[in-house]
Structure 1
Amino acid sequence: MTDPGWQTIRYETCDRKAYLTLNRPDRMNAINEDMARELPKAVERADEDPDVHVIILQGAGRAFCSGYDLKEYAEDGAGTQDAVWDPIKDYRMMKRNTDDYFSLWRSMKPTIAKVHGYAVAGGSDIALSCDQVIMADDARIGYMPARVWGCPTTAMWVYRLGAERAKRMLFTGDTIDGRQAAEWGLVLESVPAGELDAAVERLADRIAGVPVNQLVMQKLMINQAYDNMGLQGTQILATLFDGMTRHSPEGRWFQAFAATHGFHEAVRWRDSGRWIPEGGGPVPTESDLEG
């Protein structure tokens, strides 16, 4: 049953499982402020339900999550401050978002991300905050804003992949498909798209047979090991850097590009591998876009 107060998350339960569905399919489940705020409410609801043993996070429509809604944030400039900017104001905003996504990691009960289509940019932050990730073979995951205008605030790339492969992804902003993500150990498993639902249900059903107290103790113990490795400190640094990337000369160039030509053109330039001018520089003209 969907909570009538939620605009972007659909909540259902069945057979000791809670299903949280990101529900902005017309925007490929792009993140807006409502989604960030509603996600931890849905997680908390599942945590407090004694009949729920495991939480499944999925996306409605064609994708799991396409990242932040760049129509709102890049094209319209939401969240971008003036030339003299307050880094702590920005940090406060992004720290709240990071904590909201990480409610999936900090929840008492196991969480599984079911990824189809895309889990990219901020969408990868959400997926990688889950305890387990199962992807369709043809799904894509990556953090393209590493090229300009972003730093993954949950920092889970390095904790899942190790330094070298995390650098491979974040030095390029490339995406990889489910098969490669599973081969690298970024996600638990990759299966043909037509088998994704069944694969997630098998794992969830297996977990759901375990008493909740056992699940909670195992999860807390494993998460504590990550905390001992400095996860919280890494996230503080990543969240501060994320604000810097959006207010650097290059970040302001990207936002001005999106405001002038639309975020689709700005993203197309960023992801194509074309040179991103250091120090910002003039926004490309129409003829530059055609070249």
Structure 2
Amino acid sequence: MTTIPEDTNPVDFDHIRIEHDGPLSWIVLNRPDRANALSTEMLNEFTQALDYLKTNGGPILAIRGEGKGFCSGYDLGQVGVPRQADPVADRSRLQRNLDRFLAIWDHPKPVIAAVHGYCIAGGTQLCVFADITIVTENAKIGEPTIPIGGGYIAPLWAPLVGPKRAKELAFVPGNSIDGRTAVEWGWANHAVPVDHLLDAVRSLAARMALTPPDVLAMKKLSINRAMEAMGMRNAAAAVADADALLHLAPDVLTIRQRILDEGLKPVMESYRVPPTTDLSHP
């Protein structure tokens, strides 16, 4: 595995890495000290990397997180605190985030998400738009702990897991599923032991790379069009509006003020409850 040489790197990345690994080109989320939270700077770099890899790197892309987990979601230090109400700007920001992940869906190369540790909120959006998702058996995949969103995450799960499971996920703060459940629900393709994750992705990519790149591109496009005929892109188009609207609700503004007054961690702790995957012990 080698990092792209400096002279071929499109920009100096601070929050991600690009690595070559046989037929794979990896995009590595690289803010382990912040649990790979999606800051504006990281998202900008992610967009640049996807664009660069359209015509550079291997025929298969894969995305993973550095450190203890894949991604903790959007950086609440940037989006969780109150600021002057501007629903139009808020909606534009939210849609811009989704457009970055739709670029995975529209990318000419197949994209594999490799999830370990935690994959929360915006991290799950990224994976929904990946072509294939491989998770570790003990991965934690779910909603934000603090309920300040209006349906920005779970509606994107619905085409994969169905409406009832998407609602179960969304209605409980911080609700989550493990890797095995993610496969059972249809959110992921395979759940593997932690120490097998990268080798599993490499093995799959090597087999996929036997198919010529142009054939892969057209297979991906045709399957995506089938999903879009069933409403996938329409569902993605609606969530930014709902989220921007809820951000102005008095209850949400109260929670955001609590974050400012009390700090993020105490507010998160006040919402922690067990996930609903086991209701045998209420």
Judge same fold: TM > 0.5, yes or no.
yes
Report the Cα offset of residue 150 of structure 1.
Answer: 4.5
Residue identity matched to 1:113: A
Tell whether the 8 Å contact from 2:23 to 2:205 is kept in structure 1 after alignment. Answer: no
Tell whether the 8 Å contact from 1:149 to 1:254 is kept in structure 2 after alignment. Answer: no
Of residues 14, 27, 34, the one that matches 1:27 is 34
Which residue number in structure 2 is paired with residue 196 of structure 1?
197
Structure 2 residue matching 1:134: 3-state secondary structure:
strand
Which residue number in structure 2 is paired with residue 55 of structure 1?
61
- 1: distance between equivalents of 2:265 and 2:58? 40
Report the Cα offset of residue 246 of structure 1.
Answer: 2.2
- 1: distance between equivalents of 2:79 and 2:183? 31
2:13 counterpart of 1:13 = no
Of residues 26, 45, 50, the one that matches 2:52 is 45
Deviations 1:31-84 (Å, cap 9, x if unpaired)?
Answer: 1001111112111211112x521101000011100011123322xx2xx442xx
Q: 1:149-164 maps to which residues of 2 (within 5 A)?
A: 149-152=149-152, 155-164=155-164
Unaligned runs of 5+ in 1: 274-291
Which residue number in structure 2 is paired with residue 87 of structure 1?
87
- 2: distance between equivalents of 1:253 and 1:117? 31
Q: 1:1-291 maps to which residues of 2 (within 5 A)?
A: 1=4, 3=9, 4-49=11-56, 52-74=58-80, 77=81, 80-82=82-84, 85-144=85-144, 147-152=147-152, 155-173=155-173, 174-272=175-273
Residue identity matched to 1:59: G
- 2: distance between equivalents of 1:44 and 1:102? 12
Residue identity matched to 1:169: L
Residue identity matched to 2:38: I
Tell whether the 8 Å contact from 1:66 to 1:120 is kept in structure 2 after alignment. Answer: yes
Tell whether the 8 Å contact from 1:129 to 1:154 is kept in structure 2 after alignment. Answer: no
Structure 2 residue matching 1:183: 3-state secondary structure:
helix
Compute the RMSD of aligned alpha carbons: 1.8
Report the Cα offset of residue 87 of structure 1.
Answer: 2.1
Identical aligned residues as a percent: 31
Structure 2 residue matching 1:63: 3-state secondary structure:
coil
Residue identity matched to 1:47: K
- 2: distance between equivalents of 1:164 and 1:57? 29
Unaligned runs of 5+ in 2: 275-282
Tell whether the 8 Å contact from 2:121 to 2:153 is kept in structure 1 after alignment. Answer: no
Tell whether the 8 Å contact from 1:39 to 1:101 is kept in structure 2 after alignment. Answer: no
Tell whether the 8 Å contact from 2:24 to 2:202 is kept in structure 1 after alignment. Answer: no
Structure 2 residue matching 1:222: 3-state secondary structure:
helix
- 1: distance between equivalents of 2:53 and 2:225? 22
Residue identity matched to 1:35: M
Report the Cα offset of residue 225 of structure 1.
Answer: 1.4
- 2: distance between equivalents of 1:145 and 1:242? 16
- 1: distance between equivalents of 2:153 and 2:104? 14
Q: Provide TM-score, normalisation by structure 1.
A: 0.86
- 2: distance between equivalents of 1:60 and 1:88? 34
Tell whether the 8 Å contact from 1:148 to 1:270 is kept in structure 2 after alignment. Answer: no
Structure 2 residue matching 1:144: 3-state secondary structure:
coil
Tell whether the 8 Å contact from 1:40 to 1:104 is kept in structure 2 after alignment. Answer: no
- 1: distance between equivalents of 2:241 and 2:224? 23
Deviations 1:161-207 (Å, cap 9, x if unpaired)?
Answer: 11111111112241011011111111101011111111111111111
Structure 1 residue matching 2:17: 3-state secondary structure:
strand
Residue identity matched to 2:61: I
